[in-house]
Structure 1
Amino acid sequence: MADDATLPPADAVTDPEVRSADETPDAGLVIITGMTGAGRSTAAKELEDLGYFVVDNLPPALVPEVVKLVDQSRGRQQPIAVVVDVRSGSFFESVYDHRHQHTTGRPTTIVYLDAADDVLVRRQEAARRPHPLQGDGRLLDGLEAERVVLATLRGIADLVIDTTALNVHQLTKRVRQHFGSAESTRLKTTVISFGFKYGIPVDADYVADMRFLPNPHWIPELKQHTGQDARVADYVKSQPGAEEFLAGYLPLLDLVSEGYLREGKRFMTIAVGCTGGKHRSVAMTEEVAHRLRALGRDVRVIHRDLGRE
């Protein structure tokens, strides 16, 4: 989805909160169109993150075939989004069919993205790309021609978003408001236990070192067990500093989680390490995950190096 220029940074997001699951539209077909540089690719990427099957620059005549293939392979509950731009010849007739003759059998929403000409010019110049309709003329000539071609479509669009004053995060949140469900917009957190001697997970956003706690490896009755064993877990969590660490670390993670959501991030990975990834890191990973779930977070646990010794 590289047909749009990157939107510029701006101030903090002030849009309303994401819709509840009960208000989320049924799975259907979303057609994304509008002016070049207005953010079509950004909107499409957000829909992809929300679980949509996204196809960029699809000729409208092929939309029914794509819907049919998705219905067969993924089922009718798989939402679909297609990006269509001004270069699509039979665009209006095809869109009219989808809206009024229901050729795909799915409820269809047309999203039209727009912005002021001076903003579109700046975005296209920053991307150093010509407009598809400018020919030998100026970039502004291409934009003016595009507005003429898309005028009818803008009039029948279900949702028009003016991105003139929006940055990437504000646009993605606007898309989430209309198409996101409570489940698809939750931050998905992975907590990984690991052993430092095997290396730090390369995808970790945050790394916590549990080597400040006494090692159960040196306790004969605990050595052969792992941090998933209740006796080992109780031993680790009862050590000086363990509870203090959890009491300080969890509010930080909760704060960061909220910030990630505001910035449009969907995934966070927390790595918890000890020497071999068997005792302390495993026990503390389970406890961190447990406390995050108690805060309402969507959490999964991976014990990367368990059994590797």
Structure 2
Amino acid sequence: MNSITRPASTLMIISGLSGSGKSVALKTFEDQDYYCSDNLPIRLLPAFVRSVLGEAEAAPRRLAVGIDVRGQSDLTQLGDWRQQALDAGVQAQLLFFEASDESLLKRYADTRRRHPLSQMGLSLPEAIARERELTAPLREAADAVIDTTHLNVHQLRRRLVTEYTLGHSSRLSLLFESFAYKRGVPAEADFVFDARVLPNPHWNPDLRPLSGREGGVRDFLEAEPEVQTYVAQLVDFLDTWLPKLGSDTRSYVTVSFGCTGGKHRSVFLAERMARHAREQGWEDVATYHRELE
């Protein structure tokens, strides 16, 4: 791994107990433009990082890999490979996910999935206990242990976005969030903008199944004069006031957009303003779509 010389590169290693939220975590990082790979054998980690990062200027700067007990010969090797990444200038973090036995049992009962260790002839409680033993070295070496016992999928996604994809630079980080008013305004929002005054793509049968991330909805909204005026006023407001928050003690700001269903107009605005923020030079920018997660 000595050929990796890009100090700005980030590697998030996702591990932990099956059913504790590892797949949700990996999908969340993927949504934040991380290059992701799931169930990577530990022995292939150095080659994977070296191959993906490479030397090309266009190579991904941020990677996330999922590692669990499936197909692994010795989980204790992960510490050595992680240290090699750190020595090469890659900012490597290991996140370990866990939950209580009761919570894991309920999740498996709800989803009717098989535990990865069930093929060993173990009952589900036995498989969970055995996995705790096998992954103990990873838990010990983890930079953070995340207990998801009392977190739903939406809470876990938002925690990962705000704690691990934002707030790692000295500059203010921005989170642009969409939501549906019928499910309530996000309590953590710093700014809230109501998109229900805009034309609603929901009433177009061709656009109804789509989200504000997709081209058809974007084209529809961008063609509306009211939307153009709304966006222009948003740009003027946020460009004026967001930089002034940089001197505050806060590490990130959440800008939330709401509409009726949280699927079209609010999503479009969150994505549109996130893109504008990146174009303006903001380094840490993320989006979170509560009703789409």
Stretches of structure 1 lacking an aligned partner (at least 5 in a row): 1-24, 207-264, 302-309
- Within a 5 Å distance, the mapping from 1:101-112 to structure 2 comes to 101-102=84-85, 105=88, 106-112=90-96
TM-score computed with the length of structure 2 as normaliser: 0.60
Match of residue 89 from structure 1:
72
Coordinate RMSD, CA, aligned: 3.9
Say which of 226, 237, 241 aligns to 1:284.
226
- Partner secondary structure for residue 109 of structure 1: strand
**CA gap 1:76/1:107 in 2 versus in 1, 3 angstroms:** farther
Residue type of the alignment partner of 1:119: S
Q: 78, 81, 95: which is aligned to 1:98? A: 81
Q: Does the CA contact (< 8 Å) of 2:45 and 2:81 recur in 1?
A: no
CA–CA separation in structure 2 for the residues paired with 1:193 and 1:104 = 53
Aligned partner letter, 2:176 = R
Q: Secondary structure at the match of 2:151?
A: coil
Hey, what does 1:173 align to over in structure 2?
Answer: 158
Q: Do the aligned residues in 1 keep the contact of 2:19 with 2:104 (CA within 8 Å)?
A: yes
Equivalent-residue separation in structure 1 for 2:175 and 2:84 (angstroms): 32
1:215-294 paired onto structure 2 within 5 Å: 282-294=224-236
- For 2:79, what is the secondary structure of its paired residue? helix
Aligned to 2:287: none
Give TM-score scaled by structure 1 length.
0.57
Deviations 1:135-174 (A, max 9, x none): 3331011001101111121111101000000111111122
2:83, 2:218 → 1: CA distance? 49
Query: Which residue identity is paired with 1:284?
Result: E
> What is the correspondence of 1:1-309 to structure 2 with a 5 Å cutoff?
27-72=9-54, 75=58, 78-102=61-85, 105=88, 106-134=90-118, 135-181=120-166, 185-187=175-177, 201-202=207-208, 282-296=224-238, 298-299=272-273
Question: Rg: which structure is higher?
Answer: 1
| Contact 1:50/1:184, CA 8 A, preserved across alignment | no
By how many angstroms is 1:111 displaced? 0.4
CA distance in structure 1 between the partners assigned to 2:163 and 2:75 by the alignment: 24
Q: What residue is the counterpart of 1:228 in the other structure?
A: none
Between the aligned partners of 1:199 and 1:163, the Cα distance in structure 2 is 38
* Structure 1 position 78, deviation (Å): 1.4
Structure-1 separation of matches of 2:68 and 2:15: 6
Q: Distance in 2 between matches of 1:144 and 1:199?
A: 50
Unaligned runs of 5+ in 2: 1-6, 167-171, 179-194, 239-269, 277-293
Count residues with an aligned counterpart: 209
Runs (4+) off by over 3 Å? 73-77, 101-104, 182-185, 191-195, 198-206, 269-273, 297-301
Secondary structure of 2:163's aligned partner: helix
Deviation digits for residues 201-251 of structure 1 (CA, Å, limit 9, x no counterpart): 456658xxxxxxxxxxxxxxxxxxxxxxxxxxxxxxxxxxxxxxxxxxxxx
Q: What is the one-letter code of the residue matched to 2:121?
A: D
Cα distance, 1:75 vs. partner?
A: 4.8
Q: Quick one: which amino acid aligns to residue 129 of structure 1?
A: R
Distance verdict in 2 for CA 1:183–1:70, change over 3 Å: farther
